[in-house]
Amino acid sequence: MGKMYAELIRMRFLTMLAYRVNYYSGIIIYAINIGAYYFLWGAIYGGQQQMAGLSAGQMTAYVAIAWMSRAFYFNNIDQEIAQEVRDGRVAIEMIRPYNYLSVKTAQALGEGIFRMLFFAIPGMILISFLIPFHFPASLQAWGLYLLSLLFAFVINTEINLLTGVITFFLFRNEGMMRSKRVVVDLLSGLILPISFFPGWAQTVMGFLPFQAINYYPSVIFTGAVSEARALQMIALQIVWVLVILIPITVLWQQARRKMIVQGG
Amino acid sequence: MIKIQNLQKEFRIHQARSGLAGAFRDLFRREYKTVKAVDDVSFEVAEGEIFALIGENGAGKSTTIKMMTGILTPSGGEMQINGYVPYKQREEYVRSIGVVFGQRSQLWWDLSPLESFRLLRSVYKVDELQGQRWLERLIEELDIGSFVSQPVRKLSLGQRMRCEIAASLIHKPKLLFLDEPTVGLDVLVKQKIREFLRNLNETENMTILLTTHDVSDIEALCKRVLVMDKGKLIFDGQLHDLKETWGNGTEVVFQFKQRTTIEQLQAALAELPCELLRENEYAIRVRIVQNHEMLPYVLSTVMTAFEVSDVKIMETSTEEIVRNIYSAPVEVSHYG
């Protein structure tokens, strides 16, 4: 079984490599985003030492790492599922002796590892030359970050699976997928760290899974939270991983029963 | 091997109301119509058979195949294939089948077929050594060796289709489904594929189910034919029974050395139940209605009575039979 998933990850790797232009333009887009946010936050801080619990240096690191984390956890498998449902290719997936959703997750992981190795790591090295940047000091801090990044990937992928599976019922849900994308980017703390939101909004977001996708790993990376708080964040991530699994399982069983294959 | 009883599949189709007001009303309450795509279909298939499922577009063939491959859940009826209930034990069941959908690719578009084969081998947990030998045989017999390492998007349809067939057979399934495998292919490729399938059936005793619009596929491969129309199975039997029931009998065209009228020929053939049609001044078409033993008699009678320069014997093509079936009202018949 493990071998099959390893092969799937490898295939996705090769597919990503097949499109070089996509790859290069991806690097440029990430570089522009990080650069823009770096200068924007520089202007906002304007000499202030600290805002919402983050120093200017930590903020820089936060912006850079938030985008780099996104390179790993981000994927479009919801749109892939939607596409496969719409043009009927899902039929091919159903004649394979595997679970469709696990396979999609493995493919997403292949994509994530690809982006991490070929975008994020070279990008980080490049950025550390240009802007003052602090990497976590201890191996332990690195470990906590990577662990929380992995869970961030799982949660984001689960949300994508959920919106993807809804296509089985609605047939067209681009609107939902697009708004999900904006919501995830905004509420996960990619655009604005969660600690910058007003108090009531932070309370609401405490009940939502989105900050576990980006804010937790990024803030762990910057060292702005204690180790105990970091562990607590990871525990919360695990809770979310399990909670979101429930609606996915229910919806998937429903979808299997009422599946219609479009065209032919 | 395949046992299907009273299989049914119903779809609920949304009926859009017309006009702007109708579209607005659709927002709140939709009207649905229930359509029976497959209606009470039963048949059994033994191991090692090659059989064809034919019917017009929308007759329910594809829906039947999709239920048989575990993709769709039937609305009613029972089904057991290779000892499994497809929609209940999907993951175990699909290991024993191979499927080719002529209209959709199962290969990775951006990668070479070899990469797809490699992935499929790990998906089906194929034994390394045996798998390699089997794959080599597939590559050789389908003659795809020269392009298996090119990206799929650069292959021609004929090349791709042969790779699709190889991909569906990677795990040496006991049962192979081919849903319109020869659509849009040229004659040579078609022939190659048919030869390959026949060989596979003979050497591996593989059961093969074919749906097609191409009648020559059926003639080349199948003994048994199932015909579907409007969701119902309207014929299940041998190909030659199909010809007997739905065919127009045999036709013979005589080319005479001298001008011959229909009346002269009619006089010679006397009471035989034949239909005579004039082709041109020297040629007459004789249609013998559904009786093979009459053919030698007609031939010898005409040839002794007249000077004949040429004889052409024409059996009704399966194509014509199919056309006859499609245009005839539904009538249930079981043979064989």
Cα–Cα distance, A152 to B59 (Å, whole number): 48
- Determine the average pLDDT of the residues in B194-219: 88
C-alpha distance from B114 to closest chain A C-alpha (Å)? 11
CATH 3.30.70.1560 fits domain B249-315 = yes
CB contact under 8 A, A97 and B103: no
pTM: 0.79
Where does chain A have alpha helices with state H?
2-18, 20-45, 56-73, 77-86, 90-94, 100-115, 121-130, 139-170, 174-187, 199-206, 215-222, 227-257
User: Could you tell me the CA-to-CA distances from A107 to A6, A12, A68, A157, B302 in Å, in that order?
Assistant: 10, 6, 19, 11, 73
Average pLDDT, chain A: 85
Q: Which fold has domain B48-244?
A: Rossmann fold (3.40.50)
Q: Which of A14, A88, A94 sits opposite B111 (nearest CB)?
A: A14
Would the pLDDT of B334 be above 60?
no
State the pLDDT confidence band at B166, using cuts at 50, 70 and 90.
very high
Residue given tokens 């749109």 in the structure block: A79
Q: Which of B12, B63, B72 to probe by mutation at the A interface, max A CB count within 10 Å?
A: B72
Domains in chain A: boundaries: 2-257
What per-residue confidence (pLDDT) applies to B290? 59
pLDDT per position as a tens digit, A80-102: 888 888 888 888 888 888 888 99
pLDDT per position as a tens digit, A159-211: 999 999 988 888 778 888 889 989 998 888 888 888 888 889 888 888 899 98
Instruction: Give the percent of chain B with pLDDT over 70.
Output: 93
Q: Which of A16, A95, A101, A102 to probe by mutation at the B interface, max B CB count within 10 Å?
A: A95
State the pLDDT confidence band at A1, using cuts at 50, 70 and 90.
low
Domains in chain B: boundaries: 48-244, 249-315
What per-residue confidence (pLDDT) applies to A264? 43
A53 contacts: CB under 8 Å, gap ≥ 6: A195, A224
B261 touches chain A (CB under 8 A): no
What per-residue confidence (pLDDT) applies to B42? 92
CB contact under 8 A, A257 and B95: no
State the pLDDT confidence band at B336, using cuts at 50, 70 and 90.
very low
DSSP class of residue A50?
E
Highest mean pLDDT among A4-8, B10-14, B265-269: A4-8
* DSSP β-ladder status, B250-256 and B283-288: antiparallel
C-alpha distance from A96 to closest chain B C-alpha (Å)? 6
Contact B248, B287 (CB under 8 A): yes
Would the pLDDT of B259 be above 80?
yes
Is the alpha carbon torsion for B272, B275, B277, B283 positive or negative? negative
Contact B50, B197 (CB under 8 A): yes
**ipTM of the shown complex:** 0.73
Would the pLDDT of B186 be above 90?
no
- Determine the average pLDDT of the residues in B28-44: 85
Contact B225, B56 (CB under 8 A): no
pLDDT per position as a tens digit, A39-66: 888 888 887 777 777 787 778 888 888 8
**How many other β-carbons are positioned within 10 Å of the β-carbon of residue B21?**
9
User: Could you tell me the CA-to-CA distances from A137 to A53, A143, A145, A146, A221 in Å, in that order?
Assistant: 19, 11, 12, 14, 10
CB contact under 8 A, B73 and A19: no
Average pLDDT, chain B: 85
Would the pLDDT of B248 be above 70?
no
Contact B194, B206 (CB under 8 A): no
**How many other β-carbons are positioned within 10 Å of the β-carbon of residue A32?**
10
Residues of B in contact with A18 (CB under 8 A): 110-111, 151
State the pLDDT confidence band at A120, using cuts at 50, 70 and 90.
confident
pLDDT per position as a tens digit, B130-145: 999 999 999 999 999 9
Residues of B in contact with A99 (CB under 8 A): 91
pLDDT per position as a tens digit, B107-117: 988 889 999 99
CB contact under 8 A, B69 and A4: no
Which of helix, strand or coil describes residue B158? helix
Is the alpha carbon torsion for B17, B22, B25, B26 positive or negative? positive
The answer to which of A174-183, B84-93, B313-322 has the lowest mean pLDDT is: B313-322
